[in-house]
Every structure is written in C-alpha cells, then in structure tokens.
Amino acid sequence: MADEPTPTADLIRAQLRRMRATAGLSQEEYGKRAHYSASMVSAVELGQRPLDEVYLARADKVFGTGDLFVSLLKLAARDGEPTWFRPWLEAERAAKQLRCFEPMLIPGLLQTEDYARAVIRGDVTLTDDEVNALVASRLARQAILDREHPPQVTAVLDESALHRFTEESATVMAGQLTHLITFARQPNVSVHVIPTKVGLHIGLSGSFVLARSDDGGWVGHLDNQLGGTVVDHTEEVEVLLARWESVRNVALPTWQSVELIEEVMKPWTT
C-alpha cells in the first residue's frame, strides 16, 4: 500500500524549521525578526498552533521568499476541504458581494478563532488534529476580508445566535460579540440582527449564503448536518434571493443591531 501523502501544513512547518536553521537563527532570534515570541515560534513549528497568513507573511519577509509560504498556506487549507465544499470556496473567494444568513451561529467569515474552535469541538468524533485543521481552514477563508478590494459582506443573524452565554463560554462569547461589533463598523461589512420579538420567520428553516460574482451571477450554499450543498440552478438561486429579502426585511439596521449586541453582552462583561 502506498504511503499517505504528507499534509501540506506539515511540509510548511518542516520548511520553516529548515530555513530558520539554515539561516543560523534560534527560535528566539527568528522570533525577534518576525516580531513573535520564541514560544510562539516553537508552537507553530511543532504544530501546536494553527498556521495563519500573518505569521507566514512575516516568514516570507524574513527569509526573502516572496509570497511562497502564504501561497502554500492556501494549499494547506485545501487539504482539509472536502471535495463537495471546494466549488463553494471558489465562488466565495471570487465574490464581489456576500450575503450570509445564520439563525443559530455567528457566520463563519466573522468568527474568532476561539469561537470557531468551540463550535467545531462540538463534533466529538473529531481528533485534536482534525479540529486544528478545520479551525485553520476557517480562519484562512477570512483572508478575503483583508484584501485590498474585499467583498461587500452583509450578514443577517437571528438574535438567538447571540445568547450562547454560559459560565464556561462567557469569555469566548464576549470576545466573539466584540469582534462582531468591530466588523459591523467596517465600511465593507454590515451586520443585522433579527430580534426575538419578530417571532417566527422563514429564516428559521436554515442558514444559507449567497455569493455574487463579477458578472452579476449568484451562487448559493446551504449547510446541513452531513456537509453542504452548492446551489447554482437559476430557479433555486431565485428562491434563496427571495428568502434573503424576507430575512433582511425583518432585521434591524446596523446601528440598532450593534446596540442589541452590546445589551446582550452587558451582564457578562460588567
């Protein structure tokens, strides 16, 4: 039986160690040049912390490797992406506009690392390595928001997504909602909350995302317990666009949504 191919992330870590050693740098010396602690450098090289674009961009700068490590990170992210998800990722990466609706969770593109990890760890069948890979992949997707010309993102979520506070999760949730408010104040992101008093609405049937490309065409994506489905048939996309209008119409404007989020956070942050 042929050996399993080495995951791209492992190859990146091995190359980081090799280039650091070739340059005659200790972890502490390299960390000073890249503006990281020696413990952070060690954690990344040992796979105890997920790779991220900022860390690897600094590595490219220190080693003079152009954008080699950043490009490899994109391949590493794909290692953990199931085949069924890749068509949607291509649409997401090329999107000029994204419309996200979530009835129970914070949208993936707006999640913090701690929140994403807590959500993904809800699947008890995953190993620690699998959790780390999925978290790294989710964070890597968020790089589209840091581009010079990022997509316009409109996120609508039900108020129930804000009320996941428990004594154990308070720090994670407070951090996530603070992060959400920060995004809501960016020019390319708008966040809208459907308040509980709205009652029943069509969005409670499930989450979905719509991506608009350069040519004006729309593609949708539906999540479910076993994976997800790309929606690209005209009639089905039109249904999702109509559902979008329905949930957007009952959601609060951004400024009121931010006020509501702050009100939800207050008992857990004072």
* Average pLDDT of the segment spanning 203-224: 90
Which region among 78-82, 107-111, 132-136 has the lowest average model confidence (pLDDT)? 78-82
In the chain, ranges of CATH 3.30.870 domains:
83-269
Most confident of 2-11, 44-53, 194-203: 194-203
Three-class secondary structure assignment of 199-246: CCCHHHHCCEEEEECCCCCEEEEEEECCEEEEECCHHHHHHHHHHHHH
pLDDT at 80 over 70: no
**pLDDT, mean over the chain:** 88
Could you tell me which CATH number the domain at 83-269 has? 3.30.870
How confident is the model at residue 230, as a pLDDT?
Answer: 86
* Average pLDDT of the segment spanning 208-231: 86
Superfamily of domain 8-78: lambda repressor-like DNA-binding domains (1.10.260.40)
pLDDT 10s digits, 128-161: 878 888 888 888 888 889 888 999 999 999 999 9
Neighbours of 270 (CB within 10 A): 5
Helix (H) / strand (E) element for 40: namely helix 38-45
Helices 113-120 + 170-184 axis angle, to 10: 130
* Average pLDDT of the segment spanning 174-196: 95
Q: What is the share, in percent, of the chain residues with pLDDT greater than 90?
A: 55
Which region among 26-30, 138-142, 180-184, 262-266 has the lowest average model confidence (pLDDT)? 138-142
Query: What value does the CA radius of gyration of the chain take, rounded to a whole number of Å?
Result: 20
Is the distance from CB of 210 to CB of 238 less than 8 angstroms?
no
How confident is the model at residue 155, as a pLDDT?
Answer: 97
pLDDT at 2 over 90: no
Strands (E), 87-132: 97-102
Report how far residue 99's alpha carbon sits from residue 22's, in angstroms, rounded to the nearest whole number: 46
What's 80's DSSP letter? T
In the chain, ranges of CATH 1.10.260.40 domains:
8-78
Sheet holding 218-224, edge to edge: 189-194, 152-158, 97-102, 208-212, 218-224, 227-231
How confident is the model at residue 78, as a pLDDT?
Answer: 63
How confident is the model at residue 11, as a pLDDT?
Answer: 81
How confident is the model at residue 81, as a pLDDT?
Answer: 62
Neighbours of 268 (CB within 10 A): 15
pLDDT at 4 over 50: no
How confident is the model at residue 167, as a pLDDT?
Answer: 86
